[in-house]
Structure 1
Amino acid sequence: MIKNSLFAIALGMILFACSESKTEQETQIETQEISSESPAVSEAKGTSAIIDAYLEVKDALVNDNSGEAASKSEALVAALKSFDVASSKGEDIEEAERLQMEAAMVAENLNSEDIAAQRESFQTLSVLMKDFIQIAGTDRTLYEQYCPMYKNNTGGVWLSASTDIKNPLFGSSMLTCGSVQDTIEVK
């Protein structure tokens, strides 16, 4: 029994001594890694990261930049997949999870160089995002905007942080086509 106690104490002292032998540079690197992860971890608890990434994709499509839309879609997919639905303010967790999964799958289709295909996926994503955000909550007021001329006059929607119309479904060819259809309040 005494041998085991002495062995445990000796092992503890060795481990403590080894952990103390880290260089100052190693400690700084670990501190930087922890601090660089902290914003992502805290953002994953709310819909902020998802909304930010969605709006960046929207802006890229407004600017007719398919390459930027594709690269920004990666952050959107990551934000959607890392979102913890259980921590959201929503009441219908199962529906939020379903919408989250569908939105992530559709957002993966944005990783294309075909801007027409991206816009088609973005319109589908926008419908899912509105429903998802209404359940999961938002940290800012969003506006559902509608263009009646999209897709042979069947119409299309997207979300914006501003009431100004900047149409991602047509980009520069019909930049101001649309109107605010609905408002999603902070929740």
Structure 2
Amino acid sequence: MKKTLLFASLITFAVFSCGEKSTSKETHAEAHASSDGTTAKALAVKSSKSTTAIIDGYLAVKDALVADDQATASIKSVALVSDLKAYDIASSQANDPEELERLQVEATGFAEKLAAGDIAAQRESFQSLSVTMKEFLKIAGADRTLYHQYCPMYKGNKGGMWLSANEDIKNPLFGSSMLTCGRVEETLALN
């Protein structure tokens, strides 16, 4: 009974908080709670400078989508494709190079799709890219702490995720229509 009540409270909070902008610290802290009501969990990733260009490119696309800028998202995605293709798996010393290569190819495909289409199609490709990028960085490593953020209202309440360089929610899946909808699910922290 208590779990059901807690779950219902969290769902109600998510629905109402995604439609409103709030500056109170109490609401900000709750927005960073995970889906089970606890704080976001941390995931250790190895420190690696080899992914810097890829992360920079990914975040540039994210920022363009946050700003509802379809043209810039398209331009930045072309650069991201180049950075993904240039990534040298052999020198990465990854413990699973075959999986890393599969994720590199998959991420490149999603990034290529971002170059064309309207902003809704770009956002759909970006959400898929985000899932793949998280898995890619878990193996390849990162040069900074990243935050796995989640919006429960994306795709007809199926939800969607992205990575961010800071905890503040700036939703690329909705842009200005629901800029602050979301929460931090996980922190990808450097080892």
Q: TM-score range by the shorter chain?
A: 0.7 to 0.9
TM-score (norm: length of structure 2): 0.73
Structure 2 letter corresponding to 1:77: V
| Bigger radius of gyration | 1
Residue 105 of structure 2 corresponds to residue 101 of structure 1 = yes
Counterpart of 1:114?
118
Shift of residue 86, structure 1, vs aligned partner: 1.6
Runs of 4+ displaced beyond 3 Å:
none
DSSP 3-state at the match of 1:185 = strand
1:181 aligns with 2:147: no
In the superposition, relative to structure 1, how do residues 183 and 89 fare at CA in structure 2: closer, same or farther (>3 Å)? Answer: farther
CA apart distance, 1:89: 4.2
TM-score (norm 1): 0.75
Which residue of the partner structure matches residue 94 of structure 2?
Answer: 90
Correspondent of 1:68 among 72, 75, 86: 72
TM-superposed CA distance for 1:135, in Å, is: 0.2
Identity %: 66
User: Which ranges of structure 2 fall in alignment gaps of 5 or more residues?
Assistant: 1-48
Number of aligned pairs?
A: 143
1:34 corresponds to:
none
Q: Bigger CA drift: 93-102 or 83-92?
A: 83-92
- CA shift digits 1:100-140 (9 cap, x unpaired): 00100110000024000000000000000000000000010
Cα 1:165–1:89 shift into 2, 3 Å = farther
Counting helix residues as a fraction of each chain, which structure ranks higher? 1
| Corresponding position: 1:153 with 2:157 | yes
Gaps of 5+ in 1: 1-44
Matched residues in 2 for 1:89 and 1:173: separation? 42
Give SS of 1:166's match.
coil
Give the alignment's Cα RMSD to 1 decimal. 1.0
Indicate the structure whose relative CO is greater, using CA pairs within 8 Å and at least 6 residues apart: 2
User: How do 1:3-42 and structure 2 match up within 5 A?
Assistant: none
Q: Does 1:131 align with 2:135?
A: yes
Contact 1:89 1:137 in 2 (8 A): no
